[in-house]
Amino acid sequence: MQHFSSADWVDFARGLVSSERKTAIEQHLESGCQQCATSSSFWRGVVEVGRRENGFEPPGEAVTAVKSAYRIEKPASRLLEWADLARLVFDSFLQPSPVAVRAAVQTARQLLHQSGPFTIDLRLEPDSARKCVYLTGQIINNENPSEMADGIDVVLLRRGEQIRKTEAAPSGEFCLDYNPAEDLHLFLNIRGLKGIAIALPSMDR
């Protein structure tokens, strides 16, 4: 018994065979050839999936996640070379405490930095039990407060080595924790706009 090739079944499923060839294939299937019936069913399924695929559009969140996962990144050791160093405009550690609370132990430290139209608000809070520092922050676009770049990478570096990495929320807020150390920098990659570097102080000075 003569069987048909995979190419024949693909063309048959797509309706691309001549009328004579179509008649021959249909007669062969009617003869009860189980092998060819299986092949025909398989290729009809493949063609149908291909047709449905043209109308399928993945969720925007999935596309963004995949692009983010596979985008080309600059080497961590060179991030600071492409960044603007933000200017410190406020440090709560340098502000005198009211007389009534001067004896109290100051824990959290508030910092404000400026870089172009962006203000970066940071709060550093040490946890002596875990021997770490909790860092929370927010990036604000002063020129367009309601508009932020699509995705902001937040990278913690120590002497060019990546220690932590996260991504800011659409509101510009982010958080991470780290072990206290010298020579720490925060790198903010505002995609499509600029990179900002912030030198983090030690919590004891």
pLDDT for 94 equals 83
Please choose, from the candidates 126, 110, 120, 113, the residue with its C-alpha nearest in 3D space to the C-alpha of residue 168.
Answer: 120
pTM equals 0.58
Residues 19 and 84 in one domain: no
pLDDT tens track for 111-169 = 999 998 999 999 999 988 888 999 999 999 888 877 665 678 999 998 878 899 999 98
Structural domain total, the chain: 2
Domain extent at residue 111:
76-200
The parts of the chain modelled with pLDDT lower than 50 are 70, 72, 102-104
**179 and 107, same structural domain?**
yes
Determine the pLDDT at residue 72: 44
The answer to whether position 100 is within a domain reads: yes
| In a domain? residue 70 | no
Do the domain assignments include residue 144? Answer: yes
Classify residue 67: in a domain, yes or no: no
* 60 located within any domain: no
CATH code, domain carrying 133: 2.60.40
